[in-house]
Chains A and B, each alone.
Chain A
């Protein structure tokens, strides 16, 4: 465990250079400033009821994939290319400790990023809107946890891809995948999938989105909610297992170039 913490702190120090901290700080300030805009527009008071968890879910559905794309580009392949992987593993550090530290590093970034770019702006935005707010702490917390799990799933996908692809190509593949899900599956095919069983199943399982689907279903407390969580969990364990399998296959002196 000590090794994992030490490696994670190394990674955090390596990643969070002053330049990056300033850029992210500016982005965070812009996001928070934008969330104040509704209050400055003098919108007349409306009787519409807005659920905080719905606003939070829509924010997280955008922020979580973006954060994972930002923090996990070439997460393993770049270490191999720069011989950092060889340097680390030539010390008394195991491959699973190395991989766990990568997971921890990505999760910390994801956790802090979601607070800064999703929770705080959602809270400011919703309190500055002239609408009635329904705040349910339990539901909001569950929505957040489900999106965090979705984030960990994306991290494990990105990590697995990074063990087989050069440079930041893992991110490129993930972007194409998300793009196809948004445009092809949710856009073009959405009207036709039900008319063909193979197409419907292809559309259902094209992209692992069980946790985010479960977040949408939280208020319905149905079998479908439980099923969605299980699909999410199945996808998470699959990619998690794959990343650990792949790491055993990478030789210490491997060179991805």
Chain B
């Protein structure tokens, strides 16, 4: 009687071996949804030309959960249409050494996509998950952030020479601080005040080029650099969003002279009055000079 059990065991074992072998072969077929792939540096050139943000996602043939997430998200027709219309997409391959350097530089994690401005500066992250509807909602909200239309420092200086406005640099300690800053700028009066009176620039301290420029403008021993400026190699944007946030506003002239500066305080977060804050730090500076 036991022979029947062994027969079932043998048949099941054969089926196991066959399905395991076919699945193993399929495992190595590259799959990452239908997102179009652009080299990161080419993407920056394209983005600057078309004034489009850059979306960076990861891919690894070894990580099935991530492959599944990419497959679900980036085969959704509506989401793909939305992405292709508004963004330049970069897929960084975790199995590629060249891409790995960029991944380390950005501190990218498979669970997130990173949204960068046209210059490649990380602005915010989007949790990947397995729901294209959720991803689409997050993406839509993220693209409403004002930073995507802001220039980098060099562009802002050129602009400043033409329109005679000073430059306001918002230095943020991490990606979460970007979101807090965006929340303050959500009030139309605040954004309008900034746009009318200044050429705004965002410095994200977790982004290497911004970190270097912030050190030049603010000085090596500036408080925000000392507290949160360990640099992108040690403190990734994704990790750093959980730590304390610090935002600093620095007003500079077109020749990079610092006119006034101040760190965002509790009062500003409570009353949300950006104009009041900027005027306060400007008055403080005038009084200090007197």
Contact = CB atoms under 8 A, between A and B. Distances in A.
Contact of B8 (A96, A195, A210, A213): A96
Contact of B65 (A204, A227, A244): A204
Contacts of B58: 194
B12 A241 contact: yes
B75 A220 contact: yes
A233 B1 contact: no
Give the interface size bracket for B toward A: 35 or more
A237 interface: yes
Contact of A247 (B5, B68, B110): B5
Q: Is the interface of A mostly helix, strand, loop or mixed?
A: helix
B113 interface: no
Interface stretch (B23-31, B38-46, B166-174, B178-186): B23-31
B29 A223 contact: yes
A224 B31 contact: yes
A224 B71 contact: yes
B63 A193 contact: yes
Contacts, number: 118
Contacts of B2: 94-95, 248
Contacts of A186: 65
A197 B62 CA distance: 6
A95 B23 contact: no
Contacts of A99: 5
Interface in B58-100: 58, 60, 62-68, 71-72, 75, 94
A34 B50 CA distance: 51
Interface of B: 1-2, 4-6, 8-10, 12-13, 15-16, 19-20, 22-23, 26-27, 29, 31, 58, 60, 62-68, 71-72, 75, 94, 109-111, 130-131, 238
Given A216-B68, A230-B19, A237-B16, 18 more contacts: A95-B5, A96-B4, A96-B8, A186-B65, A190-B111, A194-B62, A200-B64, A220-B72, A222-B71, A223-B26, A223-B31, A224-B26, A230-B20, A234-B16, A240-B12, A245-B5, A245-B9, A248-B2
